[in-house]
Structure 1
């Protein structure tokens, strides 16, 4: 990969001091960042294989999408008028068509999702779905970084749950030998709603054995707590805590209905985090909103995610920062209870922390992986502002991302994908989309 110098840009490091170099540089050698600083300390261009002068750009860490289901791009626009955060809405709108999915559908769908993420500044995403091997192959081809949680849905079928647990363990074994861009986890879809208590305990035991994390949906709606309240007088969060679920790394998506006692469980856990999916929450029509401010005040790591693009319709994490800030203001009845700077951190270093990757990514610091993006802030909608974070969050767009690198490899240059043309990816996806929905309609006619 050689060496690259980015210069003459605003460098937003997101380090522990929130260092910003209004006129700065960043150096990458092979897959690592080797330095960053003000232009007064910029190294000589002659020492680098490639030099990019980027006036009017912000150079910052690649964005982390802390919760999505990339193959579900096939369902974009299919959930209008339905809440995917209810069992009825999810089952009828998503689960029933999913029964027609083939493994051959997954690659083209994930390829387009990865393309949209890369082009809008996401370099790492947390994934939970079926067909985990096919997802991993497509992500590897795209060059992004991903935590892939093998999705386990039991729905009362004990034999299915046992089989899926074995398959998940085998997936983790296979994926651990890669280059590090793919990190395998367990993915119980939702506690008690579609994973039984005995299966959840088995998942915890295996996660501890493998030393990997668990990614699940939690506190999405009333169904989550109905069984545990009836059986134990406890919320699902508290019941999971009782069963040792929070002993390892737990990354929970949505968390709309957390009580103060539930928040205390997350705060006391050694490695529990929340994926705050503000747009998906709003579109669901649920009254509840993730208590992100309370969670953060309690010391819980809160990252941002899009959820699937049936619930969101977009992968733009800059737009997601804006919505997350607005939702927090509305929920708390207070202007900007989460600052723009915090929102940027939630989409970079806090996303990395949630996934256990903050030693590698999330900030621009020497020794870390060279996961970097450059955003053009010279066009309409951008002007001088007191701080660059506010400009990005409330004026910015993922469509202004011009360049991106993962592990030092440039994946996007001048808004074009370098590994594979977008037109080719979209053509393959279009054929897959038509084939999949034709199968769904045929299955419905037979039913």
Structure 2
């Protein structure tokens, strides 16, 4: 049995009552949260294997990145001047070089992404991409938690769609027996744009069979609704609803162009959620902004995501909270329609709810997995405040994360990775990056 006590910290539990302690403690035993409270109830240090006193720190649940593509760190800085939320922009800057990817590229790329995420406080992320087995292996090695949706892109090729569906099913079968930190889903890349109607129906049937979720892009660009409006006079959301797509768990990324009727469909569904990716949306140049406030008012679960770091360039979820709050104020035309407390919940417990794992993570409550971060707020840029969430979001940075635990295992101590040195991860990635882009250039020269 292993046990750890964190004490003398500001503790944000993000429980149902948003309980907070100006001076509090959290204990972990065998990977689970064993206790939380104010310092006047703190147990004796002698009861624990290790004790960490954290004055000047916020202790809170690990952050949850509700939408990204971790292997796409290989494309960082490669899509400037392109909107990745349009078919042309995505195809020209991402899809064409993706054709040169090989399985051995994925592990080093995902390892770097996992390192960047955990070092900035993200303990769980939702991924959608190809090479799902390689992503899962890298996640397991890093020790973080991830929902991995097997990315399916058909692009009009029926045989390819059938092959990808079979491969996705096999991936889910393999990963269901894993240790629980990797959760397998289906990942239809985008409805109607690059997944046909027949393929979408087959994906729904298999998701129901396996009891897993589906993670997709929705209402990202003008192409999304064109085919369904022409064919049925319905938006893509409405057409999907008509075909039973929302019967199971659906987690939709972006959602810039939802109508009021679309929002009502999400609200009426038993387990439909949205990832609000504010930074990626702004950089895309799209006029649409995710109606996060309307969605939440309708009762829809909304998490926060970075999207890939070609669209965003950063995995910093504290920065993402800040941008999400600013953009919501701009969209709604009023100050802080999403409070700082709302934003913290969206980056933690609401992200967990979106992924169907809120029974396990997303808040500091007894019995849950000990996915915990400690953020140093003693330095420049922070000062005394009655509202620590606001200071964290609008003054803070993921670079201030000092410690991080997943299932009670300390993955970051004093800003240093504990499983594998960052320098080694970066060196492996750099070699992979050079090799990958050399292959892309060689393929372009032959074209």
Asked if these proteins are the same fold (TM beyond 0.5), I'd say: yes
Q: CA deviation at 1:9?
A: 0.3
User: Helix, strand or coil: the match of 1:279?
Assistant: helix
Residue correspondences, number: 447
User: Helix, strand or coil: the match of 1:336?
Assistant: coil
1:38-437 matches, cutoff 5 A: 38-437=38-437
TM norm structure 1: 1.00
- What whole-Å deviation, never above 9, does each CA across 1:224-249 have from its counterpart, x for those lacking one? 00000000000000000000000000
The CA distance in 1 between the partners of 2:177 and 2:344, in whole Å, is 32
User: Helix, strand or coil: the match of 2:221?
Assistant: coil
User: Helix, strand or coil: the match of 1:24?
Assistant: strand
Q: CA deviation at 1:424?
A: 0.2
Other-structure match for 1:4? 4
TM norm structure 2: 1.00
User: Helix, strand or coil: the match of 1:257?
Assistant: coil
User: Helix, strand or coil: the match of 1:183?
Assistant: strand
Q: CA deviation at 1:183?
A: 0.3
The CA distance in 1 between the partners of 2:318 and 2:358, in whole Å, is 20
Q: CA deviation at 1:361?
A: 0.2
- What whole-Å deviation, never above 9, does each CA across 1:14-44 have from its counterpart, x for those lacking one? 0001000000000000110001100000000
The CA distance in 2 between the partners of 1:384 and 1:236, in whole Å, is 48
In the TM superposition, structure 1's runs of 4+ consecutive aligned residues that sit over 4 Å from their partners are: none
1:23-42 matches, cutoff 5 A: 23-42=23-42
- What whole-Å deviation, never above 9, does each CA across 1:189-232 have from its counterpart, x for those lacking one? 00000000000000000000000000000000110000000000
The CA distance in 1 between the partners of 2:170 and 2:192, in whole Å, is 24
The CA distance in 2 between the partners of 1:385 and 1:193, in whole Å, is 48
Gaps of 5+ in 1: none
User: Helix, strand or coil: the match of 1:256?
Assistant: coil
- What whole-Å deviation, never above 9, does each CA across 1:154-199 have from its counterpart, x for those lacking one? 0000000000000000000000101100000000000000000000
Other-structure match for 2:446? 446
Other-structure match for 1:14? 14
Q: CA RMSD in A?
A: 0.4
- What whole-Å deviation, never above 9, does each CA across 1:72-128 have from its counterpart, x for those lacking one? 000000010000000000000000000000000000000000000000000000000
The CA distance in 2 between the partners of 1:80 and 1:320, in whole Å, is 19
- What whole-Å deviation, never above 9, does each CA across 1:380-427 have from its counterpart, x for those lacking one? 000011111111111110000000000010000000000000000000
User: Helix, strand or coil: the match of 1:350?
Assistant: helix
The CA distance in 2 between the partners of 1:193 and 1:55, in whole Å, is 51
The CA distance in 1 between the partners of 2:99 and 2:261, in whole Å, is 37
